[in-house]
Amino acid sequence: MGSLVSLICVSLVLVFASSALALIDDFDDGKADGWEAIQGDWKVKNGEYIQEDTEWTVTNTNETYHRSFLGDVNWTDYTVEVDVIIDGPGELAPIAGVFVRVTEKSEEGPYYFFRIDTRPDWGPGAVESPNNNFDGANGGQMEGGLDPAFLALEENEVEYHLKVVAEGNHFLYYVDNDLILDIVDDVDPFLKGAVGLGTFNAGASFDNFQATGEGLPGAVSKEGKLTACWGTLKE
């Protein structure tokens, strides 16, 4: 088992392991250091990162989702994982998920969003800003989930583990370790970007966030907003 040599840190931890950087936040310190809330009502409560606003205004622009971003827009290849519960569903379309390749940390910035959707006729899927079906072709509005085998997979008040692997223009999306989507974006892909969490028409709780990969450079600085510790893993 590995042990962390450096112990002077809060719950957001940066470590080098096998030449890859790991960014971990369990929110147990009651803080959201390093996170930038762009839209929504975000706070840390009871060791979870909570988004409580269920109101929405648009469904087809870059401003569709309430979201909070983390990291550097120059990050490249990485794997993002988080546990999520939709615990405050709205009436229209309760959605929660993970952002990758966020090219600009603003209301207008482009992104990919891998999501769960608790509507009975929609399964887990992915969108590319501005809320277009992301199937590698970069076009078409979402119309029912992307894989019929997983329709109606999600339920409210149930914890799901989401995982997105982004390597170049290739993306893998898992829900509870089941591979949901395997996408190659061969039409003007986003090859760099930060990461994030988001919702639409839902209150949700996020926990045990982590991003790992060689594409997370040392641009994340202890001098910035990010409160963290640096250390090494020893076998």
d(CA 191, CA 6): 32
Measured distance CA(207)–CA(215) in Å, rounded: 23
What is the reported pLDDT for 189?
93
CA 140/CA 138 separation, integer angstroms: 7
CA pair distance 41, 67, nearest whole angstrom: 9
pLDDT digit string, tens, across residues 154-213: 667 889 999 999 999 999 999 888 888 888 998 889 999 999 999 999 999 999 999 999
Least confident of 1-5, 100-104, 231-235: 231-235
Tell which wins on pLDDT, 13 or 41: 41
State how far the Cα of 183 lies from the Cα of 188, in Å rounded to an integer.
Answer: 14
Predicted local distance difference test score (pLDDT) of residue 153: 54
Rank 6-20, 31-45, 118-132, 146-160 by mean pLDDT and report only the highest.
Answer: 31-45
Query: What is the model's pTM?
Result: 0.81
The whole-number average pLDDT for the span 227-232 is 34
Q: What is the pLDDT of residue 117?
A: 86
Q: What is the mean pLDDT of residues 37-50?
A: 96
6-15, 51-60, 147-156, 220-229: the lowest-pLDDT one:
220-229
pLDDT per position as a tens digit, 92-115: 889 999 999 999 999 889 999 999
Euclidean distance between CA atoms 173 and 163, whole angstroms: 6
pLDDT (average), residues 53-61:
90
**pLDDT score for 154:** 61
- Please state the φ and ψ torsions of residue 117, each to the nearest 5 degrees: -145, 120
35-206, CATH topology level: Jelly Rolls (2.60.120)
Q: What's the pLDDT score for residue 73?
A: 95
Q: d(Cα 133, Cα 143) in Å, to the nearest integer? A: 8
Q: What is the pLDDT, as a whole number, of residue 6?
A: 35
Average confidence (pLDDT) over 143-155: 50
Q: Give the H or E element holding residue 180.
A: strand 178-184
